Structure formats: structure tokens, C-alpha cells
Chain A
Amino acid sequence: MRDTTRSRIVTGALSVLAALALSSIIIAATGHDPIVAYKNIAQGAVGSTKVMANVLVSWIPLLFATTGLLFTFTVGLWNIGIEGQITLGAIFCVGAMRSLENAAVAPGIVITIALLAGITGGMLWALLAGVLKTFGGVNEIFGGLGLNFVATALNLWLIFGPWKRPGVASMSGTLPFDPKFWMPTITPQSRLALVPLLLSVAGIILAFILLKGTYFGLRLKAVGKNPKSAYMLGIPTWQHMLLAFAICGAFAGLAGAAQVTSVYHRLIPSISSGYGYTGLMVAMLINFNAVGAAPVALFFAALNVGSIQLPIMLQLDSSLAGVIQGALVLFVLMGNGIRTMLIKKTRSKLQ
């Protein structure tokens, strides 16, 4: 095999087919017809304008997360703490709104401040993982994971403690904000808001330009490829790592704040909804290349939304979406490995 676009496409297609085959076998093992399951997922994702809007609602935070992760991956870091950074973004956002909801401030300004607070919250939580990594030698994977659990606990404590609903605190979260603080949606029935949609698209375009077209992007890449030689060449290493953490945290915080201001209008226990982990999968699938982020995130969002109805329609667990996503990433990784191996073999034969 040679390193051509054709061999890349063939490998990719075979990987996707293998993932589809594995998913089908798994569905069949539960006694269901895979085709029926896939049809249900498709129906649940594109069957009506309502569900299509829901896919976009789910696309927004996923795209924010993926966009942020492109920066940390470029600098060679595994920001698994992104899940907690989304949560902290939501917490800071709710905190800002609570302190301003009774003040004489226009709702538009309150929402803007709340989004900025969310960005700050995500950024601070990411910098905490970053400082632990750069100055404490704590691997960012374990530091980040620990901080994820701490963020969840903090969130629950707020919901059941200081910020609890009047009367009885419950898993349904804090008291919703007044509708005047809700981000305007595109149609009255849907939860799809225009501002976060535009922000998420602007975010990925900005990331593409920064990573592909600027010296800053090049420096991040140099640190990611080889921190030691980057340092020798005069690129401040830990500063770039912290900067990547801060940018990723900002996007994660924005995702959390967007969930609060346009989807839930309150703090709920699972406010980050696994978007951070799914974002990591998307970033791996596109091989950390900004170009594929938007379409692949859209596909993953469609899988998530499409599988919501599975328990009701087929008595299948909705975690099937995660199984299909995981199988895809796994086989694409393996496919890349096999392709590289075959190319190497061809090369050594030719020499």
C-alpha cells in the first residue's frame, strides 16, 4: 500500500464498515434486528424538524468541546478534565445570573455577563489541571479526572445546599430562571438558540485559522511534537501548555454556559451530559484536524439524539449511541495503524 489519498479513503471506509459490522453483531446479540435499530436512530435524528433542531441543540456544546480540545491536543495534552470544565462553566454562569437576576440590569446584559462568567469558570478549572501538570508533575489525565469528580460533587452540593429550590431540593436541579433570562430561540417550540449556534460555528472557524494559519498555531504544534526541541528553539513550553489549557477551558465553559442560558435555564446534576468525553472521541476520530470537527460532531450529535427513543421504541438502552461511536473511533485508530504498517512494508520492499 502507498501513502495516497485513495489508500486513505479505502482504509477509512473499511474501518467504518468494520465498526458498523461490530455494532450490528452487538445489537443482534440482544435479539434485535440491527437494521430496525439503525432505522429508529435515523428516524429519531432526522424524522421531523423538531428532532433535527434537537440534533443542532446537541451539536452546539459538542462542537464547543471539540474546538477547545483541538488546542490541547495540538500542544500534546489529553484534557480529559474537560467534562469538569463544562460543569464549572455552568456553575459560574448560574452564579452570575443568580446575583444579577434581581438587579436593575437589562436581561441581554445579564446573559452576556453570564456567558463571560461561564468562560471564566471553565478557564480557571482548566488552568488548575494545567498548573498541576506543569508545576506539580501530575499527569493531566489523572488530575483532570479527579477534578471532574470534584466538579460533579461541587455541582451536587450547590443543587442540594446553598442553591436548592425553595422547599425540597431535588435531582431536577435548581429553580429555573425567569423566562426573560432565556436566550431567544429560533422558533418558540424548540430549544435551538441562534446566538450559541453562531458562536460555536465562529469558534471552530477561529480555531481553524489560529491552528492552521498563524505562528501561534505553529508554536503549539512544535511543543506538541517535541517539547524539548521546541524549548531549545526558544518556544516557552509550559506557557504554551497553560495557554492551550486556558483556551480549551474557555470553550468548555462556554459550552456549559450555553446549556444553562439556552437549554436548561437552571443547574442540573448532569449539566455536562458527557459532551466533554464525546468531544474527545470526535477529536480522535478527526485526527485532531479542525476541518472535520463540525461534520463529525454533527454526526455524533445525531447518534446521541437519535438513540433517545430506543428504550421506548425497542426496549434497547440508549447507550447504543456510545457503543457505535466507540466502535468507530476504535476501528479508525486500528485502520490507521494497519495502513501505516502496510505502507512501511511496501517502502522497504521497493528499497
Chain B
Amino acid sequence: MTGDALLAGLRGILSSSAPILFGVIGETITERAGISNLSMNGTILLSAMGGFAVTLSSGSLAAGFLAGAAIGALIASIVALASISLKQSQVAVGFVLALLCRDLAYFLGNPIMGQTTMRLTLVPIPGLADIPIAGPLFFRHDIMTYLSFALVAAAWFYMEKTRAGLMLKAIGENPKAAYVRGANVQALRYFYTILGGAIAGLAGPLYSLSVKAGWKGTISGLDGIGWIVLSITIFGGWTPLRAALGAYFFGLLQWLGLVLQPLMPNVPSQVLQVAPFPLMILTLLLVNISNAEWVERALARLPESVRRDIFNVLRALNARPPAALGAPFDKDA
């Protein structure tokens, strides 16, 4: 492979991973507040269809992205209402919405299937775009890809460096303590669930107006991405930077699948497309396995030097969810 092709490939990974970044950062914010929005697969499909439809009829890309964010926020507010106020199982509500919104996307998107509209264009940044290697890699993208870089940085800064970010983490870790300190836990949870949903809702139009431009119904190739987003959120250990790493790693795997395809003509393309999933299970296993009791017991039997090495590796990979994730908050309980 030539250097140019490699550079183009890496550049492609950065832009094709951008929608996943929006999804993962949105979900990370929501889950940090103690709510898991399992509807992600439906959110991405419905916002992809809705954003495409709005741009198709209005001729405005901005309107399409706003519609995507609005759809994401609307779905998230149903999750919030059902789980925060009505205290229903977050898994149940999220799963139903994942299926319902997917079918709704296919149903409502039926008439506009296969039509074409405008798509995002590249906006090279003057000056910076001409730097060798770094220029084409980082400074020749569309606006939403730049925004995805900024989003990761902003989410990291907000969570780690601001008081409000501290409160966000507090309502997901120990809502009771946060309540005693004066936080309106329920209102904040509503806010972050809807905010996270709106951010994730940008992922859909980013697919249908750029990365996989168009709406092709069930063969749009978007079904399943939402579930990947949810697993990357876990892999990311509920932190923006590690989540971004996970998203790019996934993009790399998909790109490798495309590159390796011609080398393996006997393997159907569908098989390589699912190659990330066994890896996803493997990474979840690595992330979680040190939480298992038998691992602790097995480690205790190993000689001291080996034990320390394995322990350090496992601890580096390990991630624990926000302590109050999934649990409804009741100030009187």
C-alpha cells in the first residue's frame, strides 16, 4: 500500500467514525447521569431518515442536522419520562424504543427511499490543510467531523474540569449525596438524558447526509450501529477520551475489513462486516473480567511477580459503570 492510500485510509477513518463519536459521547453523558438510553439503534436510524427527509424537502443541510438532534432529544425525553418519572425499567423502555423507532424509520422513510439530495462538503482549513501529513489527515474534513473532534475535547473538559461536570458525575454515582448537597437530581437527569439524546441524534443525519449518503430503507447499512455505540460506551469506561479511542478503533476495524475484502474473495462481504462484533465481545470480556470473583481467586494462586503484571493489565482495561446507573432515584426512599 502506498503512503498516499494509507493517509487517505486514516483520513477516512476519522470522518467515518465521526457519527459513532456523536453517539458514544451522547450516550456517555446520559449514562454518567445514571440513565442508560438503550434506544440508540432506533435513535440513529430514525434521525438518519428524518434528517435526510428534512434536507430533501427544505434544501438545507443545517435543517437536516437540527431535525436529527430534535428526533434524538424527543426519543430521549420518552426514555427520561418513562424511567425517571414513571420508574419503569430503563432496559425495557430503551429496548422497545430501539425496535419501535427502527420500524418507524423504515415505515415513514418508505416514500423517499432511493432519492438523492445534497451532502456535506469538505471544508479544508486554509493554511493548516497544506501541512504535510497532518494537513490532509486532520484539516480536510467536513464541518461535522471537525465538530466531532471538538465534541470529544469539550465533553472531556466539561466532565473533568468544571463544577457542573462534577455534579453530572455525582448524580450518576451517588444521587442521594448530590441531593443532600442541593442538586435537583431528577431535573438534571432529564436534562442530561435529553442532551445526550440530541447529541446522539446528530449521528443519524451524519450518516444519511455524508458518510453513507442517502436513505435506502433496510439496506441503508445502519441497522446495528446503535448497538455498537452502546458497547463502545462500555469499552470507553464512561469517559470521553477512552470512548473516542474505542470509536476510532472500531473505525479502523471496519476499514481493515474493506481493505482485506479483495484479498479474500471466498469470504462473503457480510462476514467481514460483522468481524467487529466478536472483537466487541472480547473487549467487553477484557473490560469486565476483573470484576468476576473467580478471577480474583485464580489470581491469588499465581506467583507474586506474574500476579502483579496480570493485575496491572486487567486494572488498566477495567471499567466500572456509574454506581447508580439504571437505578431510579427516590429522595424519600
Known contacts A26-B104, A132-B285, A277-B99; A146 and B110 CB within 8 A of each other: no
Known: A146-B277, A153-B274, A341-B86. A284 touches B110 (CB 8 A): no
Which listed residue (A142, A156, A333) contacts B92, Cβ 8 A? A333
Interface 0/1 of B268-284, CB less than 8 Å to A: 10110111011011001
Contact with A along B76-114 (1 / 0, CB 8 A): 001001100111110111011101111110111011000
Give A309-337 as 1s and 0s: 1 = Cβ < 8 Å from B's Cβ atoms.
00000011101111101110110011011
A contact residues around B81 at 8 Å (CB):
334
Q: How far does the Cβ of A81 sit from chain B's closest Cβ, in whole Å?
A: 11
Stretch with Cβ within 8 A of B (4 or more), from A133-141, A244-252, A255-263: A133-141
Contacts of B96 in A (CB 8 A): 281, 284, 326, 329-330, 333
A173 near B: Cβ within 8 Å?
Answer: no
Interface string of A110-137 (1 = CB under 8 A from B): 0000000000000000000000100111
Q: Does A93 contact B (CB under 8 A)?
A: no
In this assembly, does A147 line the interface, its C-beta being within 8 Å of a C-beta of chain B? yes
- The smallest beta-carbon distance between A9 and chain B, in angstroms, is 19
In the bound complex, do residue B82 and residue A333 qualify as a contact, i.e. CB atoms below 8 Å apart? yes
CB atoms of A149 and B284 under 8 A apart: no
Q: Which residues of A contact B277 (CB under 8 A)?
A: 145-147, 149-150, 153
B-side contacts of A317, CB under 8 Å: 106-107, 110, 217
**Distance in angstroms between the alpha carbons of A143 and B230 in the assembled complex:** 12
Within 8 A of B (CB), among A265-316: 277, 280-281, 284, 315-316
Bound state CA distance, A153 and B86, in angstroms? Answer: 39
Note all chain B residues with C-beta closer than 8 A to A281: 96, 99
Residues of B within 8 A of A142 (CB): 227, 230-231, 234, 280-281, 284
B107 pairs with A323, CB closer than 8 A: yes
**Which residues in B have their C-beta under 8 angstroms from that of A222?**
none
Chain A binding surface SS class = helix
CB distance from A12 to the nearest CB of B (A): 15
> What residues of A have a CB within 8 angstroms of the CB of B278 in the complex?
146, 150
CB-based nearest A residue for B109: A317
Q: By CB atoms of chain A within 10 A, which of B78, B107, B281, B294 has the most? A: B107
B180 at the interface (CB under 8 A from A): no
B289 within 8 A of A: yes
Chain B interface, DSSP helix/strand/loop, else mixed:
helix
Chain B residues whose CB sits within 8 angstroms of the CB of A338 once the complex forms: 86
Chain A residues with CB under 8 A of B91: 78, 141
Contacts of A325 in B (CB 8 A): 99-100
Give Cα A319–Cα B81 distance, bound, in whole angstroms: 26
Distance A135 CA – B285 CA, assembled complex (angstroms) = 9
**Smallest beta-carbon distance B71→chain A, Å:** 14
* Contact of B221 with A by CB under 8 A: no
Closest chain-A Cβ to B19's Cβ sits at a distance in Å of: 19
Partner pick for B281 among A30, A78, A146, A161, CB 8 A cutoff: A146
Asked whether, in the complex, the Cβ of B270 is within 8 Å of the Cβ of A153, the reply is yes
Is B266 located at the chain interface by the 8 A CB criterion?
Answer: yes
Residues in chain B near residue A157, CB distance under 8 A: 267-268, 271
Contact A316 B107 (CB under 8 A): yes
Q: List B contacts of A341 (CB < 8 A).
A: 85-87
A301 to chain B, nearest CB (A): 16
Q: Does B288 contact A (CB under 8 A)?
A: yes
Q: Annotate B242-278 by CB proximity to A: 1 below 8 A, 0 otherwise.
A: 0000000000000000000000001110110111011
Interface check B115, CB cutoff 8 A: no
B162 at the interface (CB under 8 A from A): no
Instruction: Flag whether B59 is at the interface (Cβ < 8 A).
Output: no
Whether A150 touches B227, Cβ cut-off 8 Å, given contacts A80-B95, A280-B95, A338-B86, is no
Is the pair A26, B108 in contact by a Cβ cutoff of 8 Å? Answer: yes
Among B95, B100, B234, point to the contact of A327 (Cβ < 8 A): B100
Residues in B whose Cβ lies below 8 Å from that of A233: none
Q: Contact: A160 with B99, CB < 8 Å?
A: no
* Closest residue of B by beta carbon distance from A285: B96
The chain A residue with its CB closest to the CB of B81 is A334
Closest chain-A Cβ to B273's Cβ sits at a distance in Å of 8
Question: Which B residues are CB-close (under 8 A) to A168?
Answer: none
Closest Cβ of chain B to A99, distance in Å, is: 23
Whether the Cβ atoms of A336 and B107 lie closer than 8 Å is no
**Residues from chain B with Cβ under 8 Å of A330 in the complex:** 78, 82, 93, 96-97, 100
Contacts of B86 in A (CB 8 A): 333-334, 337-338, 340-341
Q: How far is the CB of A122 from chain B (nearest CB, A)?
A: 18
Q: How far is the CA of A336 from the CA of B83 in the complex (A)?
A: 12
Selected from B108, B224, B274, the residue in CB contact (under 8 A) with A30 is B108
Pick the contact of B271: A153, A284, A337 (CB < 8 A). A153
A136 touches B280 (CB 8 A): no
Q: Is the CB of A319 within 8 A of B103?
A: yes
Contact present for B103 and A149 (CB under 8 Å) = no
- For residue B292, CB closer than 8 A to chain A, the reply is yes
A103 within 8 A of B: no
Chain B residues positioned under 8 Å from A29 (CB to CB): 108
A136 touches B292 (CB 8 A): yes
Knowing A136-B288, A138-B284, A139-B284, the reply to whether A146 touches B107 (Cβ < 8 A) is: no
A152 close to chain B: CB less than 8 A: yes
Say whether A160 contacts B289, CB under 8 Å.
no
What chain B residues lie within 8 Å of A136 (beta carbons)? 285, 288-289, 292
Q: How far is the CA of A280 from the CA of B100 in the complex (A)?
A: 13
In the docked arrangement, what's the CA distance between A328 and B139, Å? 48
Is B291's CB within 8 Å of the partner chain A? yes
Beyond the given A139-B288, A146-B231, please list 6 additional residue pairs across the A-B interface where CB-CB is below 8 A: A138-B285, A153-B270, A316-B110, A323-B103, A334-B88, A338-B86
9 A-B pairs, CB-CB below 8 angstroms?
A138-B281, A142-B227, A142-B234, A146-B280, A317-B107, A317-B110, A319-B103, A320-B103, A334-B81
Residues of A at the B interface (CB closer than 8 Å) are 26, 29-30, 78, 80, 132, 135-139, 141-143, 145-147, 149-150, 152-153, 156-157, 160-161, 277, 280-281, 284, 315-317, 319-323, 325-327, 329-330, 333-334, 336-338, 340-341
